[in-house]
Amino acid sequence: MNTLAELMQRYADSQNLYDLEGIKETGLDGVWFYRSSKGNSRRPFVYQSGIIVLGQGHKNIHIGTTPVRYGPDDYLVVGVPMPLECEAIAINNEPLYGISIDISAALLQKLVKKLEAHGFSNVVEKPAQCGLKSVRMNDAMLDACKRLMNALCDELDVAMLGDMLLEEIVYRALVSESGHVLFELAYQEGAYARVAKALNRVHQAYHEPLNVQVLAEEANMSLSAFHQAFRNVTLESPLQYIKKVRLNKARELIQLEGRRVNDAARLVGYSSPSQFSREYKRHFNETPRATKIP
């Protein structure tokens, strides 16, 4: 039987993705394929919420003071977008392969309601825990991921089976030991879901003059309660989080869209180009002008 890495290689071959460096959306909405020929040194990233599975290679994630390592024997459950630093390691000069799965709020709530109707709950006693967890890959999740990769190689299979396979993978994540990271998002009045709502505001309106009071009001929480819950989930203060989101977006604008430095600064909400350049260099260890366009 093929390994997950072999199935990902087969998919890359079927889509002529020999030169892909980064991610590309597949034929199934919300599922992204990842390939990196050599990996990368430790650098800042923003991981979007969802499920991330590596078929080949390893990654070391640094979030706050908490290191997380994952590879083919694990998968990541990411409840909210997380600014972090990531090192990607290619093993034996073989490329890294992976998939990233977005999870819609509608699907999450549908599955949680169904689980609860059958008497299952996965909510921890202490709410608003860190929004990223590494989970040991079990046989059921591995089998579902393999069937998804097989389906992605065939347009008809994607059309007929894709949504069901996606639903199964999210279900497997929900009932895992770290499923509470996703489970609690379905509870709109819980602290975790309230912080997630504020984070969505940051990612949609990073160019606006955001402050902690605005985000606390978005979460319908007192300032002190919001500060504590926010740090529990993201391991960052709200202002640190906003800054990292803006800087990562600016890097995308410069590197992927070829924007000028001053334009990128303005588009992500900086009124002072010099302050932007200082904070950019501190975050990425290079000046904005040194950021290369591929």
Q: Which residue has the higher pLDDT, 256 or 58?
A: 58
Q: What is the pLDDT of residue 59?
A: 95
Q: What is the pLDDT of residue 181?
A: 83
In which band, very low, low, confident or very high, does the pLDDT at 130 lie, cut at 50, 70 and 90?
confident
d(CA 54, CA 86): 14
d(CA 94, CA 109): 39
Closest C-alpha to 162, from 205, 206, 99:
99
For residue 151, count other CB atoms closer than 10 A to its CB: 24
Question: What proportion of the chain, given as a percentage, has pLDDT over 90?
Answer: 64
Phi/psi for 269 (5° steps) reads 105, 10
Sign of CA dihedral 179, 181, 182, 186: positive
Digit-coded pLDDT (tens) for 1-15? 689 999 999 999 999
Residues of the chain with CATH 2.60.120: 4-185
Average pLDDT over residues 214-242: 90
Distances (CA, A) of 248 to 80, 170, 225: 16, 28, 27
Average pLDDT, the chain: 90
Separation of first and last alpha carbons in the chain: 38
CATH architecture, domain defined by 4-185: Sandwich (2.60)
Going by CATH, does the domain composed of 188-290 fall within 1.10.10.60?
Answer: yes
Torsion of CA 278, 42, 130, 179, to 10 degrees: 140
Which range, of 88-92, 136-140, 185-189, 192-196, averages the lowest pLDDT? 185-189
Q: What is the pLDDT of residue 190?
A: 75
Q: Is 125 exposed, middle or buried (0-12, 13-18, 19+ CB in 10 A)?
A: exposed
Residues of the chain with CATH 1.10.10.60: 188-290
Q: Is 232 helix (H, G, I), strand (E, B) or coil?
A: helix
Do residues 8 and 151 touch, judged by C-beta distance below 8 A?
no
Digit-coded pLDDT (tens) for 238-287? 999 999 999 999 999 998 888 999 999 999 999 999 999 999 999 999 99
Q: What is the pTM of this model?
A: 0.84
Q: Is 47 helix (H, G, I), strand (E, B) or coil?
A: strand
